[in-house]
Amino acid sequence: MGEQSNKDYNEMFEEAKIRGLCAAISADMESLLFRLILYCIIDDPSVAFREFSTMTLGGKLHWAQKDLKKYHHSKYLEHEEDFKWLWEFNKFRGQLIHCDFVWKDKTYNQFDVLDIQLINDEWRIVPITYTKQDVVKKLGDFGIMIKKFGETTLDIIEAVTQKYPNLINSNNAS
């Protein structure tokens, strides 16, 4: 079933490239969602209890979606469909980062990720086939999503800094 100890150097290297790229791009989105959340909730001290340092991408998606809807509803409406796509990406990302890879052949282009899914009330190992081209396409689409959310985050930061001009000045003070 592809135990790590049975994998050769090339298999581990190819997996590391895919996992690393996916993790790096995910980290960009997580950082962006974190900023989006922080600037959405700036006027609501009741949410300070959130465990931001241990929040997963799914947690950040949950709160960004909820906070954008509550505090900047028009921006939420712009991204309502994007959030559905991001939840699907989160699943894809989890498969690439956390599941075992089984390469189809020594070209290292096509592989299965061995996902664990609940099917008919039983947990099953389900192979899901991807190619490197699938991964590149999905990560490219994710990059577009990062850009869209980046623009929204900047709009919200701008609105907040107009309301609280000293906020930015206090961040730049040494």
Q: What is the pLDDT along the chain (174 residues), one digit of tens a residue?
A: 444 567 899 999 999 999 999 999 999 999 999 999 999 999 887 776 788 889 999 999 999 999 999 999 999 999 999 999 999 999 999 999 999 999 999 999 999 999 999 999 999 999 999 999 999 999 999 999 999 999 999 999 999 999 988 876 555 544
How far apart CA 9 and CA 15 sit, in angstroms, is 10
Q: Are 111 and 102 in contact (CB under 8 A)?
A: yes
Q: What's the DSSP call for residue 46?
A: G
**Amino acid code (one letter) for 140:** G
b vs e for 76-87, b when ≥16 Cβ sit within 10 Å of the residue's Cβ? beebeebbeebe
